[in-house]
Chain A
């Protein structure tokens, strides 16, 4: 199996003050696959996800140790520019959070602050392409000036994905992107993840094990801040090595 590792994490520990939230986790993220993080609430999967684009930096008490690399570059190195890192490793949040601006402005904001478009035409091109990739173009192309907050929940979440895509990231982190959506909107997002696979390395945190099974090729099971098991999704779901994984998957706890 040839694989291209996009991100690698070795011996990562995360502390919130004195409390240890992540305990010695090592994971490799593959460029061409979708990686799912599953586990019960409070197991640290979201915390770990947020170390991958240094969103934990905004929490004053959080401290991260260990080695996390993006294409071999240490993302916690002093010379790493965290603002650029977050453009390269985009993020989609649990609750759709479009800016209270127009649909166009929502998508155009990223390219604008990073200077990705040199002309107005180019900017609208990026917006159109991003909305198309996020599967939202057909629904909003006639009302790009409407407020992004006026869309339905599922559309808002796809708008957030378009916004993340617009800055041309290499990795997209999704933190329970469907937990606030109805089943139809969820299905659309999952379909979208399939289409985005290969173009971007995708990491998705989910509570929904069926979702992990449907969208991902690799699955990591977290419990109480430690990584219990990590492997091909088919193995984890059909033939887990660890008893705790089996218990969780079969619904004993979680």
Chain B
């Protein structure tokens, strides 16, 4: 220490003691802070994973019942049921007409009363006769004798059979079980039907089909428009005040609350262009407006990420600007664009508010056949069912949520597959 040159004006500098206590403390403090940081990060991940598991578990345990239904084996003596039905007409195209006027509903209720006593018709679902009708349509030979057809049980019996509901209903269930007429079947009609006032008869297919139609319209409009807008802004547009303005507008558009887009859709597509109310095409148009800015922003970032040297290389051997974009820039930017599209589409799929504004909250009892047919979508259907007082809708709501999540996962799965397919390793 005394060897320090005396001519230094600063206070005497002691050699750094790398093994001293202060240094050791500093090292320990550093390790502690690293450990703390790691723990906080891990806790954050665990917490989100925990929420996700909780959500999925709750939905599954609540909703799995929605995919099964309680059925009652109903014996029907067709010749004695008093059907006004001409069996010969069941073969031709007039079958539906013939069945409609046949009085099957009365016959079904009658059979239930005959089989299970005075209140027998209360045990079966209001829509049980529909099952009978399809059975007869499928096999007209049934009409010639006695047949046993498994029909859906009433809402109260269904709930009681699944372990809830009133004691009276549970007693009924016990009685039916003892008689051996109660079975549990896979609720195919839930996957095939549409909305209904009777929870035993509701189906999700109507809303699922509506969602599929709406998503197709959204994708077909938002993806190309978004990608071309991004390409133009990045590759062609001169940088000036106008393009700055457009950029700011697009960024703001992406942040606009979704219900505002609903009002826009209402004002533009319904009131100005007079497109059909609550149709998938209007829903798709409205959601496309909402999704497009997300795709533009993600697309621009992805295009910016393509190294300029690739553009130079292509231009340098005489590729035209369009060839540069479509042979080189777009394929390299596609994974990033697809990521943005996944985010935008997932958001559009889960959107309820703007669709309420354009009338997609109507009660739609049959799946849409065309884009212009009245339709509803999964999240709106979930919203509507969650609002129902009837106890039977609870598990249907959860079941619909499961369908929505499966649809979402399928959509994301396709997008991730495509993204990996196009991903280039540098």
Say yes or no for A55: interface residue by CB 8 A criterion. yes
Task: List B residues 286-326 near A (Cβ within 8 Å).
Answer: 307, 309-320, 323
Segment at the interface with B among A64-72, A82-90, A138-146: A82-90
Closest to A95 in B: B309
Chain B residues whose C-beta falls within 8 Å of the C-beta of A147 in the assembled complex:
425
Tell me how far the C-beta of A75 lies from the nearest C-beta in chain B, rounded to whole angstroms.
13
Chain A residues whose C-beta falls within 8 Å of the C-beta of B426 in the assembled complex:
100, 149
A110 touches B312 (CB 8 A): no
Say yes or no for B332: interface residue by CB 8 A criterion. yes
Say yes or no for A53: interface residue by CB 8 A criterion. yes
Chain B residues whose C-beta falls within 8 Å of the C-beta of A90 in the assembled complex:
316-317
A99 touches B314 (CB 8 A): yes
Task: List A residues 133-191 near B (Cβ within 8 Å).
Answer: 147, 149, 160, 163-164, 166-167
Per-residue CB contact flags for chain A residues 85-129 toward chain B (1 = under 8 Å, else 0) read: 111101111010111100000000110011000000000000000
Knowing A97-B309, A99-B310, A149-B426, say if A110 contacts B317 (CB, 8 Å): yes
Knowing A109-B327, A163-B317, say if A93 contacts B332 (CB, 8 Å): no
Number of residues of chain B lying within 8 A (CB) of chain A: 22
Q: How far is the CA of A110 from the CA of B328 in the complex (A)?
A: 13
Chain A residues whose C-beta falls within 8 Å of the C-beta of B328 in the assembled complex:
99
Q: How far is the CA of A229 from the CA of B239 in the complex (A)?
A: 38
Q: Interface residues of B: mostly helix, strand, loop or mixed?
A: helix
B316 touches A91 (CB 8 A): yes
Q: How far is the CA of A53 from the CA of B371 in the complex (A)?
A: 53
Per-residue CB contact flags for chain A residues 205-247 toward chain B (1 = under 8 Å, else 0) read: 0000000000000000000000000000000000000000000
Say yes or no for B238: interface residue by CB 8 A criterion. yes
One of B238, B318, B424 near A100 (C-beta < 8 A):
B424
A114 touches B318 (CB 8 A): yes
One of B311, B318, B425 near A167 (C-beta < 8 A):
B318
A55 touches B312 (CB 8 A): yes
Most chain B beta carbons < 10 A, residue from A53, A83, A149: A83
One of B238, B239, B316 near A55 (C-beta < 8 A):
B316
Knowing A83-B318, A109-B327, say if A98 contacts B313 (CB, 8 Å): yes
Say yes or no for A78: interface residue by CB 8 A criterion. no
B315 touches A86 (CB 8 A): yes
Q: How far is the CA of A160 from the CA of B312 in the complex (A)?
A: 12
One of B311, B319, B424 near A113 (C-beta < 8 A):
B319
B318 touches A93 (CB 8 A): no
Interface bin, chain A: 20 to 34
Most chain A beta carbons < 10 A, residue from B312, B313, B316, B328: B316
Tell me how far the C-beta of B93 lies from the nearest C-beta in chain A, rounded to whole angstroms.
56
Per-residue CB contact flags for chain B residues 5-27 toward chain A (1 = under 8 Å, else 0) read: 00000000000000000000000
Q: How far is the CA of A60 from the CA of B240 in the complex (A)?
A: 11
B312 touches A83 (CB 8 A): no
Closest to A111 in B: B317
Per-residue CB contact flags for chain B residues 389-426 toward chain A (1 = under 8 Å, else 0) read: 00000000000000000000000000000000000111
Chain A residues whose C-beta falls within 8 Å of the C-beta of B307 in the assembled complex:
97
Q: How far is the CA of A75 from the CA of B307 in the complex (A)?
A: 28
Knowing A100-B332, A113-B323, A114-B318, say if A60 contacts B309 (CB, 8 Å): no
Closest to A101 in B: B424
Task: List B residues 107-142 near A (Cβ within 8 Å).
Answer: none
Q: How far is the CA of A83 from the CA of B315 in the complex (A)?
A: 8
Q: How far is the CA of A99 from the CA of B314 in the complex (A)?
A: 8
A83 touches B320 (CB 8 A): yes
A53 touches B314 (CB 8 A): no
Tell me how far the C-beta of A205 lies from the nearest C-beta in chain B, rounded to whole angstroms.
14
Say yes or no for A58: interface residue by CB 8 A criterion. yes
Closest to B323 in A: A113
Q: How far is the CA of A110 from the CA of B315 in the complex (A)?
A: 10
B318 touches A97 (CB 8 A): no
Tell me how far the C-beta of B242 lies from the nearest C-beta in chain A, rounded to whole angstroms.
14
Chain B residues whose C-beta falls within 8 Å of the C-beta of A97 in the assembled complex:
307, 309-310, 312-313
Chain A residues whose C-beta falls within 8 Å of the C-beta of B316 in the assembled complex:
53, 55, 86, 90-93, 164
A87 touches B317 (CB 8 A): yes
A93 touches B313 (CB 8 A): yes
Most chain A beta carbons < 10 A, residue from B307, B318, B328, B425: B318
Q: How far is the CA of A109 from the CA of B317 in the complex (A)?
A: 9
Q: How far is the CA of A55 from the CA of B316 in the complex (A)?
A: 7
A86 touches B318 (CB 8 A): yes
Closest to B312 in A: A93
Q: How far is the CA of A167 from the CA of B314 in the complex (A)?
A: 12
Chain A residues whose C-beta falls within 8 Å of the C-beta of B425 in the assembled complex:
100, 147, 149
Tell me how far the C-beta of B18 lies from the nearest C-beta in chain A, rounded to whole angstroms.
38
Q: How far is the CA of A167 from the CA of B313 in the complex (A)?
A: 13
Tell me how far the C-beta of A155 lies from the nearest C-beta in chain B, rounded to whole angstroms.
16
Chain A residues whose C-beta falls within 8 Å of the C-beta of B311 in the assembled complex:
58
Chain A residues whose C-beta falls within 8 Å of the C-beta of B317 in the assembled complex:
86-87, 90-91, 109-110, 113, 163-164, 166-167
One of A87, A98, A160 near B318 (C-beta < 8 A):
A87
Q: How far is the CA of A88 from the CA of B328 in the complex (A)?
A: 21
Most chain B beta carbons < 10 A, residue from A58, A97, A160, A167: A97
Tell me how far the C-beta of A232 lies from the nearest C-beta in chain B, rounded to whole angstroms.
29
One of B312, B318, B323, B332 near A84 (C-beta < 8 A):
B318
Closest to B240 in A: A60
Chain B residues whose C-beta falls within 8 Å of the C-beta of A109 in the assembled complex:
314, 317, 319, 327
Sample (17) of A-B pairs whose CB atoms are under 8 Å apart:
A55-B316, A58-B311, A83-B320, A85-B318, A86-B315, A87-B317, A87-B318, A90-B317, A98-B313, A99-B310, A99-B314, A100-B332, A100-B424, A113-B317, A113-B327, A114-B318, A160-B313
Sort A-B residue pairs by CB-CB distance and give the 3 closest, nearest first: A87-B318, A97-B309, A91-B316
Given A98-B313, A109-B319, 17 more A-B residue pairs with CB atoms under 8 Å apart are: A60-B238, A86-B315, A90-B317, A91-B317, A93-B312, A99-B314, A100-B310, A100-B425, A100-B426, A113-B317, A113-B318, A113-B319, A147-B425, A149-B425, A160-B313, A163-B317, A167-B318
